[in-house]
Amino acid sequence: MIKVASASVFGVLLMFGPRVLEASLRTTEPGAPAAPTAAEALELAGGCPPFTFADDGACVVLPDDPTWGEDPVGAPEGEVIPAGHFEKSGRWKAYAQIPRRPDRPADYAAYKYPIPPGLPGGKSVVSGYDLDLPDHLQRRGKMRAVGHGAVDLPQKRGTPIKMLPLEHQVGDAEVIHVGWLMGFSVVTRHTLREGGRTRDYVLIFGHLDAAAPGLTRGAVLREGELVGFVGDTGSPELVHLHLEARRLHDGVDGSKLLPGRILAADVSIVCDPRNVLPIK
């Protein structure tokens, strides 16, 4: 989106301060100089600011501006919805979750993932997000957990996992945990623009064979950099990547979270990954 700093004489004058604005508002009397045009106002103010150029009295943003193309609103905020299911013990478990927004495609094939497809026909996902579904439709397999708050991406052991920026992400990802969580895991923090503000999310890369060599808490991961390798730690039934997205509550500093607190209900809310994964 091209942004124009000002397209009117008055807008240009406001941009450059009271000295120019005062000159523009002088009453035109016999012998007095006329109020400056937009172009004259720009010249009087010393021209346009950095990263802009003058165009018929307006200052137009150049593509070299670091904020060029940045969506000031970002994605709509996902709504927190209560849900629940019966655990295998028979106990009812209630939780908060953020389901897929209506503007996001339901088809998992519409999204990019940090590993290549591992199923016949080029499919990526063997098990998707179901915490928003009625209890009887949530996953109950061999594993202890009921329901699934992530996407499971099958691939052969040792497949490299590459960092994938999320939709409307601001800056790079920060590693906040390397170690045991969902099997051996890497957890990264991402800042996203939503509803005109920024919100922090975490991504959990679970059941890894190993993390990238030398990867530690506090490291910065840019697009395409190595996160780790697909494995089956904590999940011997299937070699796969467990990819889970969680939104941090306001005021929670993800950089200071202890591993045992990442999944706590007062720290983060599980989110359908389709809300944040980039679309192909």
The predicted pLDDT at position 6 comes to 37
- C-beta separation of 235 from 62 below 8 A: no
- C-beta separation of 230 from 243 below 8 A: no
Residue 51, judged by CB atoms within 10 A of its CB (0-12, 13-18, 19+), counts as middle
- C-beta separation of 98 from 79 below 8 A: yes
Place of tokens 């980039």: 278
Q: What is the pTM of this model?
A: 0.76
How far apart, in whole angstroms, are the C-alpha atoms of residue 181 and residue 194? Answer: 28
Angle formed at CA 261 by CA 219 and CA 180, multiple of 5 degrees: 60
Lowest mean pLDDT among 1-5, 121-125, 217-221, 263-267: 1-5
Residue 14, judged by CB atoms within 10 A of its CB (0-12, 13-18, 19+), counts as middle
As a whole number, mean pLDDT of residues 80-88 equals 96
SS3 assignment, position 136: helix
Domains, the chain = 4-61 (no CATH), 81-275 (2.70.70.10)
Q: What is the pLDDT of residues 138-154, one digit of tens each?
A: 999 877 789 999 999 99
